[in-house]
Each structure stands twice: as structure tokens, then as C-alpha cells.
Amino acid sequence: LLPSDSVFVDSRWPYRSKKSLKMIENQIRADNINATQSGCACCLGIDHDGRLVACILRHRNGSLGILHVDETYRRRGLGKILLSEATSSMQRRGEIPTAFIVDGNTHSEALFSTLGWSKENPLAKKGTGKRKAKR
């Protein structure tokens, strides 16, 4: 992703705020700097006909999030591709991939589970949503 893609990401994020556009732009910038040094990008996007249709970000705290695929492009495996590549990139960087999934987001929960992610503490009460990838 490029910093200019932050408008797309922010416009699709249900938790956007007055400060979120700048936060997303900064996350993408920081990831681009890390990718230049490590060769592994974690803020990724997929475009179709020159238009961004899917994305995933690595937050400043190191977790993956804001995974989004536009409605028209869902059920084509784009989310799986993004999550797989972001997970691999984090592992190549020597990081332990983590993500927070909002309770009730069954589509995300299923996707992460399909790719081998597990709930960090299966006995935890609702509200944690933290997941980790297999090492």
C-alpha cells in the first residue's frame, strides 16, 4: 500500500474518526520504511483495473487489522491471499503475528481459523478477540 491508499482504507473502516486517516497514513508509511529495510511488507492491497479493492494493515502495535475486501470482490480468496502474505511477512521479520478480531465478526474468525490462526486464550471471556498465528 501507498500512503495515498489511506483514503480508501479509512473510508471502509467502520471505526474511522477524525484522526484515523492520519493514523492509517502513518501506519502505511512506517510499514513501507520497514519493508525497505527487511524486504517484507505487511500493509498490503490488491487492485483491480487500477482501483484498490482489498487491503490489510499492520498496526503500529504490531498487530494485523483493517482487513477489508470490497463487497463485489468477496468470495474470491482475496482476504485469504492478503492475510497469508501479511502473516508470512511478519514471520520473515521475526515477529509473532497477532490480530484482534471484533467479537461477532464470524467471517474474519473463520478466515483466520482456516489459515491456522488460533485464539490466544480459548478460555478468555468475550472482548479479547486476540488471535495468533502458528509459528
Q: Which H helix or E strand runs over 99?
A: strand 98-100
pTM over cut 0.95: no
66-80, 85-99, 117-131: lowest mean pLDDT where?
Answer: 117-131
Q: What is the CA radius of gyration of the chain?
A: 14
78 and 54 Cβ atoms separated by less than 8 Å: yes
Q: What is the pLDDT confidence band of residue 128, given thresholds at 50, 70 and 90?
A: very low
7, 6, 13, 1: which is closest to 68 by C-alpha?
A: 13
Query: Cα–Cα distance between 89 and 52 in angstroms, integer?
Result: 20
Residue carrying C-alpha cell 482489498: 54
Q: What's the rounded mean pLDDT across residues 102-113?
A: 89
* pLDDT over 80 (residue 127): no
- pLDDT value at 134 more than 80: no
